[in-house]
Structure 1
Amino acid sequence: MAEDIRIAILGAGNIGTSIAKGLAQGENFTPGRITLTRRRLHLLEDFRAQGFEVTSDNLAAVRGADVVIISVEPQLVDHLLEEIAPVLDFDRHILISVVTGLTLRRIEEVIGKPLRIARAMPNTAIAVRESMTCIASNGPDDRALDMARLIFNDVGKTLRIREEDMIAATALGACGIAFFLRAIRAASQGGIEIGLSAKNSLAMAVQTAKGAACLLSVSGSHPENEIDKVTTPKGCTISGLNRMEHEGFSSAMIRGITVSAEQASKLYCDKC
């Protein structure tokens, strides 16, 4: 299905280039079938050297693509959509937006004509093909959703959700990557404080976090079930967990996610 599909990623910043890196490592897309656009083209020279097509011409990129991934900042997206609308073709193009807060309805309004559209919310782990990507689409059939699955299942896992849940998915899935990275950093700093070298402490924290995630992913178990297996009466694990809870560990994580969701809901404003 993907053999002849060409992708244009408009706005190849951090998330756009992460998508490109992940796809190039996957099974369905080679760098030569992925075009990256950016105003400051010199920042894409490394990608050109790897075989990606790079250009600052969004219209040319769209004309040469079957799938158009919109990956610009929220404040720039209306202008970009207005720019490319004349060359978007219902029979050919599928448009996928990874722009925070930009609704399917708003995309349709700005484009001003029918188009198959999907929203996707990946995170930067897409660069190593481990993203959690939430997807939704506008119909009128499943082609946009199927294409989003094809692309993002190649670089991690996808989950179809209601579009109204996209802001929550942004806070937990996209922002959440930073929260878990900060937790790993904190664990490694704890290791240093109790005598481990910085290098060994980070290596242990990273693998331990990976193991914890894999336990849940493979078993389908609840975190508390796995915690119960390593907590014994008057043991060192439960002592550490209880101290973390006394210091507000869980409540801080929960509050961080809710604040991120509040902020995400304000990033795109069609009246601003």
Structure 2
Amino acid sequence: MVNKIFFAGTGNMGGAILRGLLQAGNDPKSIFFFDPSDKAAAEVSALGCVRVASFAEGVNNADVTFLCVKPQIFKLVSAEWKAAADAIANEKTFISIMAGVTRAALTDVLGAKNQVLRVMPNLPLTVGKGSVGLATDGVTETTLATAEKIFGNIGVTCRVAESLMDAVTGLSGSAPAYVFEFIEALTRGGVKAGLTRDVALKLALGTIEGSVELVKQSGKSPSDLCAMVCSPAGTTIAGINALEEGAFRSTVMKAVVAGTERSKELGK
């Protein structure tokens, strides 16, 4: 049973997970955090969470520690983390969201005695609709189940080999930004066609939400559903043709691969 959770870092993603846990009903007094920024810390403290003075204090107080700093900062804090981990008597669980930082690198710092799990969440966890990839290599079933329990109320989880974590980063970790861009593009298209921005945005959001639900419930592939909308010589196939002229699918695929490659670079 996970009783206390510590966040080392409460930036965009760490803060999203933290707020998602609160939204799911977790007691804020059971959530500890360390953030060197007084301004950022004040916002989290206002939620009822407990600020600690150091990484070591947070680790000692918690059952599970979330490592939520930027991957570029990992080397700067690794000595402090190692000292804190070496001082721990009992096994602890660490969950890292740092893109590109391997489990081997984390274990070198945090020690083989502790459970170290890599995950890749995304921003929609804030509203309880996120996606999380869990790297299964080298961790126990108990640790995986613990992570699935933590994330279960704020998103969906998928277990993958660690070798695929960069791909998870390139897809679900980065894709919310691609979706936001798509929503904006649909909205601008509606405005260009004569709709007000408010109406265009409302229609775009409702259409995307309904389309996602249809994919979930219908059991049909996205391609099959697309074909159902495309009447012969109709409006939709004309729009699909315009997308194809702009290499829409190819461009999205390139974006996922670019994010994957950047995740690999961050790990070097």
Instruction: Give me the TM-score of the superposition, normalised by structure 1.
Output: 0.92
> In the superposition, relative to structure 1, how do residues 205 and 140 fare at CA in structure 2: closer, same or farther (>3 Å)?
closer
For residues 253 and 151 of structure 1, what CA distance do their matches in structure 2 show?
A: 31
CA contact (8 A) 1:66 1:92 kept: no
Structure 1: tracts of 5 or more residues without a match = none
For residues 89 and 195 of structure 2, what CA distance do their matches in structure 1 show?
A: 59
Q: 1:143 offset after TM fit, Å? A: 2.1
For residues 111 and 160 of structure 2, what CA distance do their matches in structure 1 show?
A: 25
In structure 1, the partner of 2:43 is 46
For residues 58 and 41 of structure 1, what CA distance do their matches in structure 2 show?
A: 15
Q: 1:56 offset after TM fit, Å? A: 4.3
In structure 1, the partner of 2:71 is 74
Residue range with higher mean Cα deviation, 112-121 or 79-88 = 79-88
In structure 2, the partner of 1:260 is 259
Q: 1:155 offset after TM fit, Å? A: 0.9
CA contact (8 A) 2:28 2:48 kept: yes
Residue range with higher mean Cα deviation, 33-42 or 75-84 = 75-84
> In the superposition, relative to structure 1, how do residues 138 and 161 fare at CA in structure 2: closer, same or farther (>3 Å)?
closer
In structure 1, the partner of 2:96 is 97
Over aligned residue pairs, what C-alpha RMSD do you find?
1.6
1:15-34 to 2 correspondences below 5 Å: 15-27=13-25, 29-34=26-31
In structure 2, the partner of 1:195 is 194
For residues 165 and 90 of structure 1, what CA distance do their matches in structure 2 show?
A: 33
For residues 38 and 177 of structure 1, what CA distance do their matches in structure 2 show?
A: 25
For residues 91 and 217 of structure 1, what CA distance do their matches in structure 2 show?
A: 43
In structure 1, the partner of 2:160 is 161
For residues 189 and 171 of structure 2, what CA distance do their matches in structure 1 show?
A: 25
Are residue 35 (structure 1) and residue 32 (structure 2) matched?
yes
Q: 1:181 offset after TM fit, Å? A: 1.1
For residues 155 and 89 of structure 2, what CA distance do their matches in structure 1 show?
A: 28
Residue range with higher mean Cα deviation, 43-52 or 117-126 = 43-52
- State the aligned residue count: 266
For residues 50 and 231 of structure 1, what CA distance do their matches in structure 2 show?
A: 48
Amino acid at match of 1:50: L
Give per-residue Cα distances to partners, 1:157-204, cap 9 Å, x unaligned. 000001100000000001111111111110111011111111111111
Are residue 8 (structure 1) and residue 6 (structure 2) matched?
yes
Matched residue of 1:195: which SS? coil
Give per-residue Cα distances to partners, 1:4-63, cap 9 Å, x unaligned. x10001011110100011010114x22111112111122221221221112342111111
In structure 2, the partner of 1:60 is 57
1:201-216 to 2 correspondences below 5 Å: 201-216=200-215
CA contact (8 A) 1:116 1:143 kept: no
1:86-125 to 2 correspondences below 5 Å: 86-88=83-85, 89=88, 91-125=90-124
Amino acid at match of 1:68: T
For residues 244 and 51 of structure 2, what CA distance do their matches in structure 1 show?
A: 49
> In the superposition, relative to structure 1, how do residues 53 and 143 fare at CA in structure 2: closer, same or farther (>3 Å)?
same
For residues 220 and 14 of structure 1, what CA distance do their matches in structure 2 show?
A: 34
Give per-residue Cα distances to partners, 1:111-157, cap 9 Å, x unaligned. 24421111110000010011110001444522221111111112110
Q: 1:222 offset after TM fit, Å? A: 0.8
Identical-residue share of aligned pairs (%): 28
CA contact (8 A) 2:91 2:113 kept: no
Amino acid at match of 2:233: K
Give per-residue Cα distances to partners, 1:215-248, cap 9 Å, x unaligned. 1122332101111221111111111111111121
> In the superposition, relative to structure 1, how do residues 70 and 204 fare at CA in structure 2: closer, same or farther (>3 Å)?
same
